[in-house]
Amino acid sequence: MMEPIYEAVVTTIGREGRVHVAPMGVRYRGPLVVLMPFRPSTTLDNILASEHAVLNLVTDTRVFAGCVTGRRDWPTVAADRVTGARLACALGHVELELESLHDDAQRPTLDMRRVFEATHAPFIGLNRAQAAVVEGAVLVSRLGLLSREKVATEMAYLQIAIDKTAAGPEWEAWGWLREAVERYEERERK
Q: Please write the tens of the pLDDT for every residue from 63-77.
A: 999 999 999 899 999
Residue type, 152: A
Q: Compute the average pLDDT of residues 137-160.
A: 96
For the whole model, what pTM was predicted?
0.94
Kindly give the pairing relationship between strand 85-87 and strand 76-78. antiparallel
Taking 80 as the threshold, does the pLDDT of residue 1 lie above it? no
Report the distance separating Cα 121 and Cα 83, nearest Å: 23
Residue-level pLDDT at 107 = 95
How confident is residue 189, by pLDDT bands cut at 50, 70 and 90?
confident
10 Å CB burial of residue 23 (0-12, 13-18, 19+) is: buried
**What is the pLDDT at residue 162?**
98
User: Taking 80 as the threshold, does the pLDDT of residue 145 lie above it?
Assistant: yes
Instruction: Evaluate if residue 30 carries a pLDDT over 90.
Output: yes
Does position 26 have pLDDT exceeding 80, yes or no?
yes
How far apart CA 155 and CA 141 sit, in angstroms, is 13
Helix (H, G, I), strand (E, B) or coil at 181: helix
Task: Name the β-bridge partners of 56.
Answer: 9, 93
* pLDDT score at 125: 92
